[in-house]
Structure formats: structure tokens, C-alpha cells
Amino acid sequence: MSRSPRATTLAVVLAVVVVAFQALLVPLFAGPAAEIAPRDLPLAVAGPEPAATQLADQLRAAHPGAFDLRVVADADAAIRDREVYGAIVLGTDGPALHVASAAGPTVAALLTQATAELGRGAPVPVVDVVPTDPDDPRGAAFGAGFLPLAITGLLAGMLTFLLVKRRAARFVALGTFAVLAGLAGAAVQQAWLGVLPGDYLSVAAVLGLFGLAVSGTVAGLAAVLDRAGLALGALVVFLVGNALSGVSSAAELLPQPWGAVGQALPIGAGSTLLRSVAYFDGNGAGSALAVLCAYAIGGLLLVAAGRRGLARPAAEVAAAGPDRTPALVG
């Protein structure tokens, strides 16, 4: 009977802890989504001078802090090089908005709304320079398809730590997962669903590197911190990383510095790298590639250095001597 109050207290404490965790998760995910707005979003203006510079100055005054405006000679080239998300092109028939929905349909829609005033009552023509895949016109499949890749990477890292007890075998497990995850993920999204363009091997390489970055980081943290490393990896890499990734929008639409933090985590960097490779011939991929490589290499180094969860060598077991625990006499 004495254990009943203790068990009840434990049950209440567990419920309170879970609800407190929920209270933290809700603003983590819903907060950035509710605050989506342009924040120094790269936007170009192209056209004859001095009209282009004057329009850029007008937009800065009308939308302070919203756009990082620059005057360019070739608007479409700036978009394809991922220097800007869109451009206002001044022509003889008036302004036109050039966008790249492949860089984020949410951004393209926001730019369309923000520049509607330029038409002075008439609709501003919109040119989609780099559109999304025809089978994924709203980009929904791109965002939804990235979450399973993160989940499987997390599971691979956890299972590698929990079930593989030899250090060398852990490297084999992580490497095999990365290769197969990349090849299978690219095949599913391109050949089966048909929602992702680009060169198959290049897309597979991106997905494989992303899988290694996630699984290697989780397995490496666990190898050093034991099961606490699994919790830390799941929290930072998956929960925080997913909430701040900007997969369905853009880093520049999230409150700062959280947009930048999201791009410094594997999911945000992975989605940026995949967009660049699949739609923009690798343009703008440098920083995201560096982030994923850092996580992949760092995770593998932690796996090499950590000793948690490894089987004890036979020599160590022998040196410990026989079990000296006294036998119980019945």
C-alpha cells in the first residue's frame, strides 16, 4: 500500500513534464510560422537608369527592413544564380515581376502580393523564371518529402548506437545507410513520384550526405554522451532543426536569428542544398554544403572518439578477472 502514493506522484510528475515539453514545442513550431514575413529578402530591380534606382529607393521606404534591394543588369541571371529570390523588371509596358517558385512558392506568392501596388490598379505580370516541378506545382511534395528523410536519418543514428557494438561496424552501418538512403530517396522522388527534377546521381548524393549528417551526428553524440546523446541529437537535429528549417518557406521569412540558426542545422541546410542542386544547377549551394559536411565529418569523429555502447574487448574482460560476486546459498 505504501507504494501506491509514490506511484501516483510519479504518474503526475510524468504528466506535468510531458505537458511542459508540449508547451515548449507548440511555440517552437507555431511561432515561426505565425511570424512569416520578409526580412532582408534579396530582391533585384532591373531596368534603365535612373528609374531602376529610384524604384529601389521607393521600395526601401515603403517596406523598411523587408527587402535587400539591389539594382542588376540581368534579372533572370541573378535569380538563376540564387543571388535574389525575385526581380522587378522595368520595361516599356511597365513593371513585371520575375520570380523563382522553385526557390519557395511561399516567397513567390509573397513577392506577388508585395509588388501588386506597382501596377497602379492593373495587375503586374508575373514571370516564373525557375518554376517548380510540374507534378509539384505548389512545392508541397518537396517539403513533405523531406521530413521522412530526417526521420530515417534519426532512426539510423539511434539504431547504430543501440545495436552495433563495434566501432568499425558503426562506420560501415552509417556509410551503408547514407549510400542506400541517397539512391532510394532520389529514385522514389524522381522515378516513382516524379516530383523532383535534376540529375539523379547529384540528387542522390545530396540526400546521402544529408542522411549521413543526421545519422552520424546522432550516433556520434550517443557514442560520447550515451543515451543522453540520443535525446540531445533528437532535440537539436530533428525537433529544433525541423521547426526552424524553412523547408516550406525561406530562411529570410523567419524571425531572426532563428532563420539563420535553422540554416546552420542539417534539415535547413539539407533543404537549401537540395533546392540548389535540383533546380538551380548547384548555384547557391556552397554554405549549405559546408554545413552538411561539417555535421557528417563531426559526427564520424565523435563515433571514432566515443566509447559508449561498445562491446568490451576480450583482453579487457580477461584482465578484469573472474566474477567475484559471492554465490547465494539457498
pLDDT tens for 128-145 read 999 999 988 888 888 888
Are residues 249 and 156 part of one domain?
yes
Are residues 177 and 100 part of one domain?
no
Question: What is this structure's pTM?
Answer: 0.88
Domain boundary among 75, 95, 128: 128
Are residues 178 and 122 part of one domain?
no
Domain boundary among 94, 128, 162: 128
pLDDT tens figures, 167-209 = 999 999 999 999 999 999 999 999 999 999 999 999 999 999 9
DSSP secondary structure letter of residue 312: P
pLDDT tens figures, 248-301 = 888 999 988 999 999 999 999 999 999 999 999 999 999 999 999 999 999 999
Q: Which of 27-31, 65-69, 198-202 has the lowest mean pLDDT?
A: 27-31
Q: What is the CATH number of the domain that holds 55?
A: 3.40.50
Domain count for the chain = 2
| The three three-digit cell numbers of residue 190, written as one number | 524522381
For residue 46, give the H/E element and its range. strand 41-46
- CA distance from start to end of the chain: 29
What pLDDT is stored for residue 268 in this prediction?
96
What pLDDT is stored for residue 79 in this prediction?
98
What pLDDT is stored for residue 28 in this prediction?
73
Domain boundary among 128, 154, 185: 128
Are residues 105 and 232 part of one domain?
no
What pLDDT is stored for residue 274 in this prediction?
97
Q: Which domain holds residue 65?
A: 41-128
Residue 328: inside a domain, yes or no? no
Residue 11: inside a domain, yes or no? no
Are residues 267 and 234 part of one domain?
yes
Q: Select from 264, 288, 267, 266 the least CA-distant residue to 277.
A: 288
Are residues 300 and 156 part of one domain?
yes
Mean of pLDDT values over 297-319: 80
What pLDDT is stored for residue 93 in this prediction?
84
Are residues 299 and 266 part of one domain?
yes
**Res 318 pLDDT > 80:** no
Is residue 156 within 8 A of residue 215, CB to CB? The reply is yes
